[in-house]
Structure 1
Amino acid sequence: MIGTRWQIGHVLAALALAALCALPGFSAAAQGLFAPVAKVQDQTITAFELDQRQRFLSAIGGSPAPRELALDRLIEEKVQRAEARRLGVEIATDDILVGMDEFAGRANLDRAGLIAQLAQLGIAEETFRDFVEAGLMWRQIVRGRVGGNQHINLNDVNEALAFGNAQQQAASRVRVLISEIFLPARSPEERATADEIIAQIQDLRGFDAFSNAARQVSVAPSRDQGGRIDWLAFGNLPGPLREQILLMSPGQISDPVEVPNAVGLFQLRALSDTGAPAPVGGIAEFAVLGVPGSTPQEAREDAAAILERIDTCKDFYGEAQRDPDLTLELRESPVDLLAADIALALAPLDIGERTVLAGAESRARILMLCSRRLAGSETPDPDQVATALSNQRVQARADALLADLIARANIEILR
């Protein structure tokens, strides 16, 4: 049960807010923070809630979250809370605190540490608490309606293993030809502008139209070639892009792919089956040298000069020692865990080859591939496969339940 103190706290907060709004000095702008932006059943979403949720999603996601995403999440939670009330589902205060502890632990912080960091970003503790509480409510609803475990038999596991092997063998022979556009998204304002441009680009038809758009708006170095990239091994693409390309036909444009401080769009130009298996995904070891500049153009020019002086990953150390303004990073990571921009930059490289990765900021990055090796090829544990299949089925049914509740809810967007 939700603790009485928590319920009383909400009542006192509402009374305090009402008293504050009645004061002569309380500005119209401040009152506007609590103006309704949407109604879900008998619940209201205020401008303050929306602002808080947008800040919170940006903080935990590592990049600016668009307003529409924050509003969608709040609407979903209001629908979930309405269903929780109908079913009599409540979460005890102690369980909420445990949930907050677990969430903070994902960032290697305790609850107080995460709350302090959120406060520095202007995010109230109640925003964090409400987010966790809604998640716990929904989990309990799903457990009651869908069931915590789905029956998985041996045939299900064998089919999943066979499908995975077939996918890997097919992917190891495939090359792709794509074009790219990267748009800056370092702030909510830039992301809003990017979303407007994305909507226009996704309406384009034909390879030339996409290339013209790349020359005009892309911040990637490939813009000079109309965003065109040479043949890439399908298995070396970032995971989110691979999943989309499997469903695309030549000429189609992908959904946006998030990368740090930017968002990418990709157009499939061609697919080719080489007939000869090649390494898929795997683990890449690479060096990254950050090159500052007063402008993006200056940074790219300085990076080009450094490129002439380096031949191996070891040469990066000498450059970093020579100039303290340079930043050196050596990384080893599965390709699927790399940011899309880095994975794409490394995809066409052989060992010892390098490239310049530039964005909207006044800093260029030189990437060199030091080594590439296959990830462990051991046969997956059947028990782990069964657990994954069960989780997938629960998630699919939970998504269907939420979609049905949203479709039947009375939702009104006010502004």
Structure 2
Amino acid sequence: MRAMISSRKISLALALLVALLLPTAPMPTAMAQSASAGVNSIVAVVNGDVVTRSEIDSRRRLLALSAGVTGDAGAQGGDQILRLLIDERLRIQELSRRRIPVTDQDIASSIANIESRNGLPPGGVVQNLRRAGIEPRVLYDQIRAQIGWARLLRGMLGEQATVSDAEVNEYLNAQRARLGEPEFLISEIFIPVENPGQEAQVRRFVTDVIQRLRQGVPFAMVAAQFSQSQTAIQGGAMDWMTADRFDTAVASILRQMPEGAISNPIRVPGGFEIVLLRDKRISGRDMATLLTMRQVFLPFEGQVNPQAPTAQQLAQLQRAQTLSDQARGCEAMDDAARGSPRPADPGPVRLDNVTPPELRDLLSSLPIGRATQPIISLDGALIFMVCAKETRNMAEANPQQARDILLRDRTELLSRQLQRDLRRRAQIEIRTGNTTRPG
């Protein structure tokens, strides 16, 4: 069976990039004027292609919108944003040289997916970008580079993109031999150090990012924007792994970290790692109840005023109550969810991860095939139904997980090697004021 870099994972990354692209206030006039200043200022030349000051400012505003990085963080991240734009330009040049197509329809499909995932109407992403003073092309360029790079790596892997049954069995046997050892569930951000002279500068940037993460900036958003690891496609998220699967410096830190902690900068070959320890367990023992569910969300037009609901809101509440009283079986929920902004099937749900506790208790005691009473929020009414319950040992790796892990490792290694090669062969000039230096 062929394991591949799935379009679903790419779509997830693109959704992470703009998961906070909800209606926001326009840019203050002073900020807009500042953004337009020096619009034609060239800050780098990459194999003859220029990178301008306005591109850095635009990418900084996109980061601020999607990841919540503002003020001084954006200013301190300018050098790192420039390096990211240079790497992105190198990737786009390589895609062009190898004639890897990324069509306008690919971009449009990704934007539509983002809008669907975030409950935005068609055109909502572009509207919200422009409201924040960001040209849509900034996001389009990032999407184009991500899609094309994934396609390029998939093609370059060739036969290595197929993980054999023997390799899967070898991995699973090795996992069984480690039963009883600690396993770690982490998310990562990898920031490369291109040459030794940049190390102090990159460390300062990484330290600033960690400070912002600890203040509450979403880890997945920053990973999707800044991380140069292939796990950026999933917002930095990795699967359960034992310590020997990590770099030794990372493994040493993980053994000391409490759950939920964000590491200090970890020096690894090629750059710095930032690690979020999401959870840890003993290999082979992680029993959990998994729910197969359906949900129907009936949105209100505008937020509801409990004292004066509109006719549309009353109609939605009545529809929700009727569905709750009459729905029998998950097919009825599928039918009722057609046209809803949220998917009917949220995928397997681990009961002990459900929040708040009141909802967890409700789902735990809910009979199979019986709908909940409507759960009312300011934005709409939500009805749940449990279709099936299963107790499973979540620590047991299955063959598909093994394929995904092995392929991800190969893809990550190839991505870093290719990016280093592109950097080494490139002619890059960095322009600061009246001076020019190699990139």
Place the TM-score, normalised by the shorter chain, in its bin: 0.3 to 0.5
TM-score if structure 2 supplies the norm length?
Answer: 0.43
- Structure 1 or 2, whichever has the larger Rg, is 1
TM-score if structure 1 supplies the norm length?
Answer: 0.45
